[in-house]
Amino acid sequence: MDMLFLQTTVGTPAVANDKIALIALLLKGGWAMIPIALLFVVALYVCVERYLSIGKAANVEKDFMHSIKDLLVTGKIVAARDLCKKTDTPVAHMMDKGIAKIGKPIEQIEVAIRNVARMEVYRLERGLATLATISRAAPLVGALGTVMGLITVLYAMSKVASPIDLGMFASELYEALVPSFAGLVVGIVAYLGHNVLSRMVDRAAHQMDASAVEFIDLLQEPAG
């Protein structure tokens, strides 16, 4: 029994438990890690800032349109505009513009509201182009860093006359691959952030369209 245990122990190769910390690994990436880190900071800032801004813009109180309708029906136009000014959302900005145009043809009111809606959507989309650019640029910067690292490693190996140390070669190789890994991570973060924020903008735009239709219908009710 003891002999079997000894044979099993001796015959089993030792498994290396060496691990490298993530920060220490990233520091081995060379110069390419600097622009990748900057791109990551910008992407993270845009994602957080746009998420909060778009979420706030899309957060329209359910009773807002009902309050506007009640005020307009009772002829309290000034109070309706005051309510719009106190409610800092794209829908409130649209309603304020529409209320200011009351008395003019419906077509003009609708055009004015749609123009405000387009401007509001443009404001909400601010920064999304930056995320799209980062999602493409970060992997390219990482690939450039890896290629330059490989060129340096291979050039150094070509100058060595003695047999190549495979362990040293593997160490240099994984360090050269670090920028590609980091670039892909940043690119994925920016890509996912862009998609999530684009969906949020689409929902906000749909909400603005629905509010515009509701407002125009409200103005046409007395004529009906």
Output the CA torsion 46→52→55→58 (10° steps). -90
**Is residue 8 predicted with pLDDT exceeding 80?**
no
Query: pLDDT-derived band of residue 163, with 50, 70 and 90 as boundaries?
Result: low
Query: pLDDT-derived band of residue 134, with 50, 70 and 90 as boundaries?
Result: very high
- Average pLDDT over every residue of 10-38: 62
Q: What is the pLDDT of residue 162?
A: 65
Give the chain's length.
Answer: 224
- Average pLDDT over every residue of 90-111: 89
DSSP states along 5-73: HHHHHHHSPPPP-----HHHHHHTTGGGHHHHHHHHHHHHHHHHHHHHHHHHHH---TTHHHHHHHHHH
**Is residue 18 predicted with pLDDT exceeding 90?**
no
- Least confident among 6-15, 90-99, 161-170: 6-15
**Is residue 42 predicted with pLDDT exceeding 70?**
yes
Comparing 214 with 41, the larger pLDDT belongs to 41
Q: What is the pLDDT of residue 14?
A: 38
2/8 Cα distance (integer angstroms): 10
- Average pLDDT over every residue of 4-21: 44
Q: Where are the domains of the chain?
A: 30-50+128-203, 61-125
- Average pLDDT over every residue of 29-39: 84
- Average pLDDT over every residue of 156-182: 70
Specify the pTM.
Answer: 0.76
